[in-house]
Amino acid sequence: MDKKKIIEMLNTDLEGEHGAIIQYLVHAYAIGEGELACEIEAIAREEMRHLDMLAETIVKLGGTPSTKRGMMRTEGKTPTEWMQNDVLAEKDAITLYKKHIAAIKDPEVKLTLERILSDEESHKGDFVHFVDKATKEKMKDVRGKTDDKVTKTLNWGIEHEYTVVIQYMFQSFLTKNREAQKELQDQGINEMQHLGWLAEKMIDVKGSPRIEHTAVEKTAKSDKLADILKADIKIEKQVAEAYDKAAKETGDPKTKKLLERIRDHEIYHTKVFKGILKEDKKK
């Protein structure tokens, strides 16, 4: 099997991981605070690690990681139904990974897929247990229907954070600058924290988190690190200003405090990217 075909298969796997991450996070936020939500978020983080492993393998093979999101099982009205859908998602992943492991002969790629498969089989067992837990505890959807200025601001923030998480992570896979790789991944992780904070705040104000993203600018005008960083700096400045404006306009003190905290983080990201850009210009 040629590398092009292997890359296509790995990108299909990557898209599946992307879909699973968001599906699980949606379910965790909709369940609200508690042990089960924390366990689901932990599984979502493991799926993020899988996405990272697949993307790095794709780049090693000379390919470009996909930013598309795979299928999500969004049907169901209760946590029990959601956990059943999560079991089905894991079964689909297990079937696909087994198929790809059998088809691919490259030992390094097979090893990576076998490692991921082991996790997915464990996740399936976890979600089977979660079905029983959600049923016995009679868990309900804690999302509300509030649709006001505060919830619109929070959903705007979620959309932005989701977009830059993908953007920074995939830029980190494509650049060869080690410092830039580390910082892009670190800031991407921080943006994921922001997404979680905003989604949890949305539940607090009786709203419903909408986890969608806008267009992802993976490589800016070119693959050059300077162009990537300039594009990211521009985004960070614009968003810091938007968070600052939103914080000043909100009448909810707790939401104001959260928005100001995220604003300060975005300002920090700008300074980090400017520092890397300055060092890159010296080379």
DSSP secondary structure, 14-44, as one string: HHHHHHHHHHHHHHHHHH-SSHHHHHHHHHH
Q: Of 124, 142, 160, at which residue does a domain stop? A: 142
| 156 Cβ contact list (under 8 Å, min separation 6) | 242, 246
Residues 180 and 117 in one domain: no
108: Cα within 13 Å, side-chain hemisphere: 9
Provide the pLDDT for residue 218: 57
| 172 Cβ contact list (under 8 Å, min separation 6) | 180, 181, 182, 184, 185, 188
Give dist(CA 128, CA 224) in Å, integer: 46
Can you give the CATH number for the domain in which 22 is found? 1.20.1260.10
Residues 122 and 191 in one domain: no
Residues 148 and 226 in one domain: yes
Residues 13 and 119 in one domain: yes
Distances in whole angstroms, Cα of residue 164 to Cα of each of 74, 76, 129, 135, 261: 23, 29, 34, 36, 17
Residues 131 and 153 in one domain: no
| 35 Cβ contact list (under 8 Å, min separation 6) | none
* pLDDT confidence bin for 222, thresholds 50/70/90: low
- Cα dihedral value 163, 167, 169, 172, nearest 10: -170
Q: Of 126, 142, 158, at which residue does a domain stop? A: 142
Q: Of 99, 123, 142, at which residue does a domain stop? A: 142
| 255 Cβ contact list (under 8 Å, min separation 6) | 150, 153, 154, 201, 205
Residue, of 99 and 33, whose pLDDT is higher: 99
Span 261-282, pLDDT tens digits: 999 999 999 999 999 998 888 7
| 118 Cβ contact list (under 8 Å, min separation 6) | none
Give dist(CA 189, CA 87) in Å, integer: 26
Percent pLDDT > 70 in the chain is: 97
Span 35-88, pLDDT tens digits: 999 999 999 999 999 999 999 999 999 999 999 999 999 899 999 999 999 999
Domain with 242 in it: 144-283
Residues 124 and 4 in one domain: yes
Residues 168 and 89 in one domain: no
Give dist(CA 126, CA 89) in Å, integer: 12
Residues 63 and 167 in one domain: no
Give dist(CA 85, CA 23) in Å, integer: 9
- Residue 165, judged by CB atoms within 10 A of its CB (0-12, 13-18, 19+), counts as buried
Give strand ranges (E) for 95-253.
Answer: none
Provide the pLDDT for residue 219: 53
- Domains contained in the chain, number: 2
Lowest average pLDDT, out of 77-86, 102-111, 226-235, goes to 226-235
Residues 209 and 156 in one domain: yes
Give dist(CA 134, CA 78) in Å, integer: 9
Residues 101 and 148 in one domain: no
Give dist(CA 66, CA 10) in Å, integer: 9
169, 167, 193, 195: which is closest to 182 by C-alpha? 169
Instruction: Over range 128-147, report the average pLDDT.
Output: 96
Collapsed DSSP state (helix, strand, coil) of residue 55: helix
Helix then strand then coil, % of the chain, to nearest 5: 75, 0, 25
Residues 132 and 148 in one domain: no
Residues 93 and 122 in one domain: yes
Collapsed DSSP state (helix, strand, coil) of residue 119: helix
